[in-house]
Chain A
Amino acid sequence: MNLKVWCAALICGVSVSAICAADLPFDKIVNAASHPQEWLTYWGDYHATRYRDLNQIDDANVDRLRLQWIFQTGVPGAFETVPLVLDGIMYFTANNSSAYAIDARSGRELWRFQYTIPKDARPCCGTLNRGLAMIGSRLFMATPDAHLVAIDSRNGRLLWDSEIIPANGIYGASMAPLAFKDKVVVGVAGGEKGNRGLIDAYDAATGKRAWRFWTIPAKGEPGNETWGGDSWKHGGAPTWMTGTYDPELNTVYWGVGNPGPDLYGDVRPGDNLYSDSVVALDGDTGKLKWHFQFTPHDVYDWDAAETPMLLDLPWNGKPRKLLVQANRNAFFYVLDRVTGEFLMAKPFARQTWAKDIDSKGRPVKNPGVEPSAEGTRVCPQSAGAANWMAPSYSPATGLFYFNVREGCDVYYSSPPVYEEGKGFWGSIFRGETGERQWGRVTALDPLTAKTKWTYKLYQAPWAGTLATSGNLLFAGDEDGYLMAFNAKTGELLWKINTGNRLATSPITFELDGKQYIAMPSGSVLLAFALPDEVVAGKKK
C-alpha cells in the first residue's frame, strides 16, 4: 500500500488520526511561532530561538513526564540529529547518511532513505549528520562526501543529488541545510584539512547551484590582503553549522569556522577574513552585506559556528533587529543584524586570552597567550566556552539559555606542511593534567550579558537547550541526563539518565492535544509526554 492510499484509508477510518505526507510552504516557516505544535527547521524556526509556545508540560507537572516510545535506528556512531515535525510525521537523519520518516504518535517507521557514498569518494571528516531541511514536499540532506541531496518527503525517494565540491579528503558536510523560498543553503566542514570554506545555495526544485560565497576572498578581492602570501588557498574558514535567516531582510547569517593551520598563525599573517566571523549574505544572490569577525587571526581553533540567533529586542529603549552569539572564545556578542554594527561583548566563562574587547568589537589580547612549542595554557579550551550546541531564548523570561563549557588547554604550536587530504593543524592542544573540565546550564540577559542563574554540570556538555512557555528549560549533558529546569529560577525539576552522552538538542511538538519532548541519545530517539490523566486534568 503506498502512502497516498494509506493516508486516504486513515482519513476514512473513524477513530484513527490522519497521517499524510505533508507540504511545507515557505510562509508557514516564516510564521513558525504561530505553529508551535510543529518543528519546522533545524532550529525550530528561522531565528533559532528554540522557543515554543507550548505549556501543557509545565513547571508544576514536568516531573510526571513518561516515556511514550523509543525509535531504534540501529545505526552506531554519533546521533546528532534534530528531527523536523510536520503534520504528525517526524523526519530526521542518523549517522552514515540515513534518513527516516516516522509516525510521531507511535514511533513507527514510514520510510527510510540511505545515501550511498561512492567507493572512490574521500570524505574529510567522518559520517555524522545533524538533520534535514524541508520546504514544499522536499527534504534536504548534506552528506559526508560534500553533496546536497533532495528527498521526496512522501516516500523517501531521491529527487536530486548535487555535488557541492569534490571531497578529495578535505571537504565534507554534516549540518542540516537551511531552506527558504526556492533555495536551499548549505556549508562545508574540513577546516582542519587546509581547504577553503564556502556557502552555497541550490535551487530547491532542480538542485542547480544558485550562488556561492567563498569564506576566504580570492586574490584581488577585498579581504584577501588579510592573508599573507598564498595562505588563503588553504586557510580553512569552513561553514559546518546551519545558519539563520531573516525573511524581512532576506538575509542569511552564517557562522564561519577557524583559519588553518589551526594553532600556527605565522604562515597566515593578518586577520584572516572571514574566518571566525559571522557573514550576512543576500538570500537571492549570496552577496556579502556585512561581516563581523569575533577572533581575528585565531590560533586556538575558535570557530564562530555557534548559533547566530536573531532577536528583535529594545536596545537602549529602541526596537532593534539584533544578532546574538555566545562565541567559542568565551564572549557573548550582540550585533545589529541590519548593519553588522558591534553593540556589546561580555565574557560569560573563564577566559585568559583577552584583556578587553574594544569599542569596535576587536579583542585586545593579553601578553603571553600565543601557542608555543613548549605549550601555553589558555582558557577557554580549544573546544570553546560554547560551541555548536543550540542555545535558546524565551520571550516569556527574556533570557538566553545555553550550555557553557568551562576548561583550559595547553596549546602547542609548530609549523606544519600542507599536504592535500592530511590534517593541517600546526600541532595540538591538550587538557591540563589534574584540571577537570566542567559545565554549566546558564541563563543570561542578552541585553546585559549578566548571568541570571546557572546550574553546574559535572562534565563540559555537548548538548543544547529548548525553552517553552511552560516556564521550562530543557537541557542535555555529557553524562546522558536530559533535564528540565524552572526557566525563571534555574531550579532542577526533572531529569532522566538516557544512557548515552547527549550531543544534540531536545525538541517539542504537539499532536492530538498532547505535548511531546523528543531527544536523540546513543542510537535511539526517545519521546516523552505526560500521562493522559495529567493532560486531562490540565485541560479542565
Chain B
Amino acid sequence: MRIIILVALLVPPLAAAQTASDSLTKGRALFRSNCAFCHGATATGGRGPNLLGQLSHGDRDEDIQGVIRHGIPGTGMPKFRFAPDELRSLVDYIQSLRKGKPAPPPPAGDKAAGAKIYATHGCSGCHEIGNEGSVFGPSLTRVGAARSYDYLKQSVLDPSADIPDDFQGVTVVTAGGHRYTGVRINEDTFTLQLRTADQQFHSFDKTRLKQLVVDKTSLMPPYRFGDDDLKNLLAYLSSLRGPVNANTDTRHATEVR
C-alpha cells in the first residue's frame, strides 16, 4: 500500500494552466499530422477505420489511449510514442469529433452468403484467413478491424486505387525471355526477390534482366458484383476480426513528432 501511495506522489501534477481549448487545438494538430494519413482528416476513415461511432476496441478514453500506445496487432495501426499530455490532447480531440455523431449502421448484408461468395470466387487462392488459403495476397484474418467499410469496398471494385507497398506487383523478363509477375518481397539496387502466385520465391540479378516493370495496377483483378452480392461479401469481410499474435505483429510508428 505504501508503495502505491509513493508512486502516486511521484506522478507529476497535470499541467493545470493548459486550457481545454488549447488541448483541443494541440490534439487537432497531432491528429492531422499523425492520424489523418489513415483515418481521414475528419476521422471518417480511409485506409484505416472510421473513428466515429462504435469502436472495436472500446470507446472510453483509456481504450483509445491504449490503442494508440500499443497499436493493433495484425493491422496497419502502429504503436505511437506520445508524451502523456499529447496523448490526452489527442484523445480529447478524437472524443470531441465523436460527440453527437451517430454510429454508422452495421453493414447491411448477409455474412454467411458473403462467405459463400468468398469461397466460390476463389479468393483463398490469393488470400489467407487464419491459416487457410494462400500467402500471396494480404491476409484477411483481421481485415474487418483493419480497414474501413468504404476502403474494403474500393479494394474489391478497384484494387488498383491503393496498392499497399508490401504487395507491390513487379513483372520481370529474364535474359532467357521468361516472364515472372509477383509480389515484391525485397528489392535493392542490384537484386529483386519476388513471390509468385504459386507462393514460390524467385531471386533476380537486376543487371541481367531484360525488363523490370513496377506494375501500375494491383495484382488483384477488379471484381464486378450485383448489389446484394457485394453487400454480402463486404458484410463477411467486415466481420473478419480473428486473433493474431499480439507480441509479434505490431510495429512502431515512425516520424512521430
Q: Is A bound to B? A: yes
Residues of A with Cβ closer than 8 Å to B? 263, 373-375, 412, 414-415, 422-423, 425, 427-431, 433, 456-459, 477, 479-481, 495, 497
A457 to B206, CA, bound (A): 12
A415 to B28, CA, bound (A): 12
Partner of B189 from the list A263, A374, A415, A481 (CB cut-off 8 Å) is A481
Minimum CB–CB distance for B163 against chain A, Å: 8
Report chain B residues within 8 Å CB of A412.
29, 32-33
Map CB proximity to A onto B28-72 as digits: 1 under 8 Å, 0 otherwise. Answer: 111011100100010000000000000000000000000000000
Q: A414-B30, A427-B257 are in contact. List 7 more A-B contacts (CB 8 A).
A: A373-B28, A375-B33, A422-B83, A431-B255, A458-B188, A477-B189, A481-B188
Contact of A375 with B255 in the complex, beta carbons under 8 Å: no
For residue B26, CB closer than 8 A to chain A, the reply is yes
With contact pairs A423-B257, A427-B257 given, residues A458 and B189 touching in the complex (Cβ less than 8 Å): yes
A372 to B34, CA, bound (A): 14
Contact of A459 with B37 in the complex, beta carbons under 8 Å: no
**Can you spell out 6 A-B residue pairs with CB atoms less than 8 angstroms apart?**
A414-B32, A422-B83, A428-B34, A428-B255, A481-B188, A481-B190
Residues 120-144 of B at the A interface (beta carbon under 8 Å):
none
A412 to B255, CA, bound (A): 11
Contact of B32 with A479 in the complex, beta carbons under 8 Å: no
A457 to B191, CA, bound (A): 12
For residue B187, CB closer than 8 A to chain A, the reply is yes
Report chain B residues within 8 Å CB of A423.
257
Partner of B187 from the list A373, A425, A458 (CB cut-off 8 Å) is A458
Minimum CB–CB distance for A415 against chain B, Å: 8
Partner of B256 from the list A428, A456, A481, A495 (CB cut-off 8 Å) is A428
Q: How many inter-chain residue pairs (CB < 8 Å) link A and B?
A: 53
Chain A, Cβ-Cβ closest to B189: A458
With contact pairs A374-B32, A459-B188, A481-B190 given, residues A425 and B257 touching in the complex (Cβ less than 8 Å): yes
Contact of B33 with A428 in the complex, beta carbons under 8 Å: yes
Minimum CB–CB distance for B250 against chain A, Å: 20
Minimum CB–CB distance for A25 against chain B, Å: 42
Minimum CB–CB distance for B90 against chain A, Å: 12
Report chain A residues within 8 Å CB of B187.
458
User: Which of B26, B34, B189 has the most C-beta atoms of chain A within 10 angstroms of its own C-beta?
Assistant: B189
Minimum CB–CB distance for A394 against chain B, Å: 23
Minimum CB–CB distance for B241 against chain A, Å: 25
User: Which of B25, B33, B37 has the most C-beta atoms of chain A within 10 angstroms of its own C-beta?
Assistant: B33
Report chain B residues within 8 Å CB of A459.
188-189
With contact pairs A423-B257, A428-B255, A428-B257 given, residues A414 and B29 touching in the complex (Cβ less than 8 Å): yes
Partner of A495 from the list B29, B190, B255 (CB cut-off 8 Å) is B190
Contact of B29 with A373 in the complex, beta carbons under 8 Å: yes
A375 to B36, CA, bound (A): 11
Contact of A373 with B37 in the complex, beta carbons under 8 Å: no
A501 to B250, CA, bound (A): 23
Contact of B33 with A430 in the complex, beta carbons under 8 Å: yes
Which 10 residue pairs of A and B lie closest in terms of their CB atoms, listed nearest first? A414-B29, A479-B188, A428-B257, A412-B33, A425-B257, A458-B189, A428-B33, A458-B188, A457-B189, A427-B33
Report chain B residues within 8 Å CB of A415.
29
A373 to B32, CA, bound (A): 7
Report chain B residues within 8 Å CB of A477.
188-189
Report chain B residues within 8 Å CB of A425.
257
User: Which of B41, B83, B255, B257 has the most C-beta atoms of chain A within 10 angstroms of its own C-beta?
Assistant: B257
